[in-house]
Structure formats: structure tokens, C-alpha cells
Amino acid sequence: MPRKNTGNTAAFRRPALSGEVALVTGASRGIGRAIALRLAALGASIAICGRDVRALASAESEIKKSGALLYAQIADVTRSADVTSLVAKTQNALGPISILVNNAGIGLFGPAHEKTEADWDRVLDSNLKSVFLVSREVVPSMIRRRKGDIINISSLAGRNAFAGGALYCASKWGLQGLSACMAEDLREFGIRVGVVCPGSVATDFSGRGPKDPTKVLLPEDVAHAVAMILTQGPQSFLSEVQLRPLRKA
């Protein structure tokens, strides 16, 4: 005879991230938007930010359709004052942040010797400094609660060099190092830090030229990897996911 389940069946129907509060940076479009939607579908309350008013409003409208609790704010995560405001207002609206997805970033390509100091600052601030600023603001609360997940959206460019990729690769190689050190610093507090390293993704991200749509990832593929990390068992620690299109370009 099959064994009778005497446990609480309602617990099995509970969404995987119910009760969690997730902050996703750069979530007004592309990968960030897909991640926010996926985490909302898994039951998390969602906070999103971006710099484009119209794009953020569109993302906000779409996420609200899921029924998730939502907070949205215009913010530049390369500025410490904006970050402090974003985190404080998110926690006032939704509660302590238990999931942070550092997704905001830009691409600027070409030989290093042809780039300006302003180009360098723009890429490194967006792709690396922002992760430092937002994580620094969120981590103390996670340490107090001895719980949290931080996922940094890196790139296979953080592991591979290519012509014209100097600034972008520098930012992503730096992100790999920052993430690995954060993971070691925070694991004793029950905080997991991991990275997702996608290859080419079909977004309006400023890349190196047109992409064959049959040979790139979808934003939803990256969102799936983030969800996989967040729904792993409590004793495990996925430090890095490398995500490639099935077909080579």
C-alpha cells in the first residue's frame, strides 16, 4: 500500500520563495526584468530599480500582473546616495532584503587605447562599483539575520578575452574576483554569494554587433539559472553557473 502523507500538504504547495524579499538592480528591461518576473512567479516580494522612467514603469506594470508585492524606484546604483535611499525605502516597503541580484551593467567595446577615461569610469562604475555599493548596503542586515543570497550577473567575458573587450572584460574579471572574495567573507554568516556567467543574450544590451537569434540565450534562460541557485538545498552552495547557447555562433 502507498504510504499515507501525514505532513502538511499546504507546505508543499507554498511557492519556493514565499516570504522572501528580492532586490533586482537594472530590472527595467532585458535580463533584470526577466529575473524579477521569475522571482515574482516563485512567490518573492520584488524591488526593482533602473534609470529609465518609462522602461521602469513598463516593468512595474508587468510584474504587478503576477500579484507579487512590488516596490520600484528610479536609482543610479553607481551613486552611493541613490543606493542608500533604494535599500532603505525597499526595506521600509517590503521588509528585510533576503535576495540581492546585482544585474545592472553596460557594455562598451573597442580597443582600450581608443577609449577615454570617462569610458573606463562608466563601464567599471556600472559593472563593478555598483555591485560593491549595493552589496555593502544590503549585507549588514543579512549578517544580523544570518541568512541571504547574493547573485551577481557576470559574463563569460569574465573568463575569456576577446578583441575589443578590454573595458568590459576588465569589469567582469573584476566582478569574478569580488564575488569569490565576498563568498568567502560571508559564508560563515549563512550568506551565499554566487555568479551567473551568460554568453551572448538576445537583449538590446550594447554588444558587439547583430546576433543570430538561433545562437544566443534568452533573458529567461538567465532567470532560470538565478532561480536554480535560489532554490538549491540549504546545505549547498552554487558558487558559479556558466551559461552558454546550445549552438555556437
Q: Which residue has the higher pLDDT, 12 or 90?
A: 90
Q: pLDDT tens across 47-90, in order? A: 999 999 999 999 999 999 999 999 999 999 999 999 999 999 99
Return the C-alpha cell found at 112. Answer: 582600450
* Domains annotated on the chain, with CATH: 17-243 (3.40.50.720)
Which among 60, 168, 203, 222 is annotated as catalytic? 168
Q: Is pLDDT at 5 greater than 80 in this prediction? A: no
pLDDT score for 203: 72
Q: Which of 7-21, 49-63, 136-150 has the lowest mean pLDDT?
A: 7-21
pLDDT score for 206: 47
- What is the helix (H) or strand (E) element at residue 87, kind and residue range? helix 80-94
Q: Which of 13-17, 59-63, 104-108, 152-156 has the lowest mean pLDDT?
A: 13-17
Determine the Cα–Cα distance for residues 214 and 78; give it in Å rounded to an integer. 34
Percent of the chain with pLDDT over 90: 86
71 catalytically annotated: no
Q: pLDDT tens across 161-195, in order? A: 999 999 999 999 999 999 999 999 999 999 999 99
Residues with Cβ within 8 Å of 104's Cβ and at least 6 positions away in sequence, in order, are 25, 26, 32, 49, 50, 77, 126, 130
Q: What integer is the mean pLDDT of 235-242?
A: 95
pLDDT score for 204: 65
Q: pLDDT tens across 192-208, in order? A: 999 999 998 987 654 55
Q: What integer is the mean pLDDT of 114-126?
A: 98
Name the residue type at position 201: V
pLDDT score for 31: 96
Percent of the chain with pLDDT over 70: 91
Q: What integer is the mean pLDDT of 206-233?
A: 86
CB atoms within 10 A of CB 85: 15
pLDDT score for 202: 82
Q: What integer is the mean pLDDT of 8-13?
A: 52
Q: Which residue has the higher pLDDT, 3 or 189?
A: 189
What does the DSSP 8-state code read for residue 2?
A: P
Determine the Cα–Cα distance for residues 164 and 81; give it in Å rounded to an integer. 33
Determine the Cα–Cα distance for residues 237 and 229; give it in Å rounded to an integer. 8
pLDDT score for 3: 45
